[in-house]
Amino acid sequence: MNLFGFELVPLNLPLEKRLRTVGVLHFTYLFLFFGLSTLFVSLYLLLFTSYYLIPLAYYLWYRYDRSTSEQGGRRSDWVRRWRVFKWAAEYFPVELVKTSELQPNKNYILACHPHGVMCQSHFVNFASEATGFSNKFPGIKSYLTALSSSFSYPIFREYFMLSGSIEASGASIDWVLSKEGSGNAVALIVGGAKEALDARPGSCHLKLKNRKGFCKKALKHGASVVPVFAFGENDLYKQAANPEGSKVRKFQNVLTRILGFSPPMFYGRGFFNYTFGLLPLEKPVTTVGK
């Protein structure tokens, strides 16, 4: 059914498909809005209500607990197995393909490509059990790395750490590879924020030049580097044209340097329509490590 140029989602869509859309909605809006939302709510409580003690108490906790996101985080296998992550994996669907064994007596760096717009498949694979990481690689714990700024938002940082996520910093990687024993796999999205600016269907531009720090960490700690590629990650969103040298790309590069993360101008589908919105497109993603 079409309305004003929008292809609407059928009203009689099976419940199973609705739940899968809820799963991907959960991650997408968590990624885009949850951190800022909790920050604004905290500031509102602090400045304009009589509940100012709540954000003050949380701030004291944050100061006390600040280093946890750089010291292995606070993973919860119960949270990682939530059904909502399984729904998200089934939405695309995302498949994690095992091509070789990872030995529990060693540590690993999973060098992941491509970044995509929102790293949807990397989160599903390595920050949850939706694709069965622990079953495929028994004795191995995965730690997805994320921007350090992600762990500055109240409540959001706690939720993020429960998924097994840690800061993408040298100190954080050092800690997992040296203080957490063996059987650890640090999932690092090598291309980083700038790679997101080239994420569009039918293309694959990787950022590898001057990104060799993870190799130095692997050599320092005797960890093995496992190249990981998510085929289809770049197909999940469409992006406005921003060729190198254009005014749009220059503006995006400036914002990336200032903010620490890139601002791609992207769109996918909506919750109630297939034409436009913030949800990713229903495209299969196959993640292979070798």
Tokens of residue 34, six digits: 């949850």
Local confidence pLDDT in tens for the 290 residues of the chain:
777 678 889 989 999 999 999 999 999 998 899 999 999 999 999 999 999 999 999 999 999 999 999 999 999 999 999 999 999 999 999 999 999 999 999 999 999 999 999 999 999 999 999 999 999 999 999 999 999 989 999 999 999 999 999 999 999 999 999 999 999 999 999 988 789 999 999 989 888 888 889 999 999 999 999 999 999 999 999 999 999 899 999 998 888 887 777 888 999 999 999 999 999 999 999 999 87
Give 255-277 pLDDT, tens digit per residue.
888 777 788 899 999 999 999 99
Task: Please state the domain extents for the chain.
Answer: 2-289
Query: The pTM is what?
Result: 0.93
Give 9-28 pLDDT, tens digit per residue.
998 999 999 999 999 999 99
Going from the C-alpha of 60 to that of each of 38, 96, 278, the distances in angstroms are 16, 40, 35
Tokens of residue 55, six digits: 């954000």
Tokens of residue 117, six digits: 């717009």
Position of tokens 């024993």? 181
Q: Tell me the CA end-to-end span of the chain in Å, nearest whole number.
A: 44
Q: What is the DSSP string of 17-38?
A: HHHHHHHHHHHHHIIIIIHHHH
Give 241-252 pLDDT, tens digit per residue.
999 899 999 998
How far apart are alpha carbons 82 and 89 in whole angstroms?
12
Taking the CA of residue 180 as centre, how many other CA atoms within 13 Å lie in the half-sphere pointing to its CB? 28
